[in-house]
Chain A
Amino acid sequence: GAGVSQSPRYKVAKRGQDVALRCDPISGHVSLFWYQQALGQGPEFLTYFQNEAQLDKSGLPSDRFFAERPEGSVSTLKIQRTQQEDSAVYLCASSRKPARRGGSYNEQFFGPGTRLTVL
């Protein structure tokens, strides 16, 4: 079936502009994650949804970052009043149920990312 898709793939914003990044997870995947990847670095966790509930937003760098998943499928990451330091690739990932009793957490399936450049 289709993998995780993200749009747009590239976004150029002027400093101060608001942006919205979309993620379509794999159908039926309960868990959805957002990551930020700076150039030359590994991805860093931003936030986690289980269905429509945002259970962990500890990685969001400031209150300018807001994420939602209102119907438990598509998610949107919104960045208000963008700054140059927000320039990065934003990755979305989804996975099946978080864990089985006594089992191991599942692998995450990543989308291609949105490369955000703030001028």
Chain B
Amino acid sequence: SQQGEEDPQALSIQEGENATMNCSYKTSINNLQWYRQNSGRGLVHLILIRSNEREKHSGRLRVTLDTSKKSSSLLITASRAADTASYFCATAVPFLAGGTSYGKLTFGQGTILTVHP
């Protein structure tokens, strides 16, 4: 089952515009990560925000996290055609197995972003 729900499911914008994607989740988390997936390729890690952080920046990316609302948003500023991809949020939840705790990732269904040149 997938913990995250992403909104919108699809987003179509013009080059130069900003794109905002939202993610909601259900349980307490250790961190939340955003990944990008181009057609036919694997996932590329974009940014990780810890549960005690509220906002994080990386280049043209800005991520916010509201643990009280169990939600996160990813903002891509000044979008480019090359940003066209599917974007997934993934929550890392502590999972105890074999006496070791690890971060089990649960992905949302993704937002398909299309940036028109």
Contacts and interface: CB of A to CB of B under 8 A. Distances in A.
Interface in B75-113: 88, 90, 92, 94-95, 97-98, 100-110
B102 A98 contact: yes
B31 A105 contact: yes
Interface string A35-77: 0000011111100101001011000000000000000000000
A99 to B, nearest CB: 6
A104 B102 CA distance: 10
A107 interface: yes
**Size bin of chain B's contact surface:** 20 to 34
A106 interface: yes
Contacts of B98: 50, 53, 55-56
B108 A48 contact: no
Interface centre among B35, B98, B105, by most A CB within 10 Å? B105
Contacts of B45: 107-110
B50 A45 contact: no
B42 interface: yes
Nearest to A107: B45
Nearest to A43: B107
B43 A43 contact: yes
- By secondary structure, the B interface counts as strand
A31 B108 CA distance: 22
Interface in B18-54: 30-31, 33, 35, 40-45, 48, 50-51
A116 interface: no
A91 interface: yes
Which 9 pairs show the lowest CB-CB distances between chains A and B?
Answer: A105-B103, A42-B107, A98-B102, A55-B97, A55-B98, A110-B42, A110-B43, A56-B97, A112-B42
Given A41-B109, A56-B97, A110-B45, 17 more contacts: A31-B102, A41-B2, A41-B110, A42-B90, A43-B107, A48-B102, A56-B102, A93-B43, A98-B101, A99-B102, A99-B103, A104-B31, A104-B92, A106-B103, A107-B45, A108-B45, A115-B40
Interface of A: 4, 31, 33, 40-45, 48, 50, 53, 55-56, 91, 93, 98-99, 104-113, 115
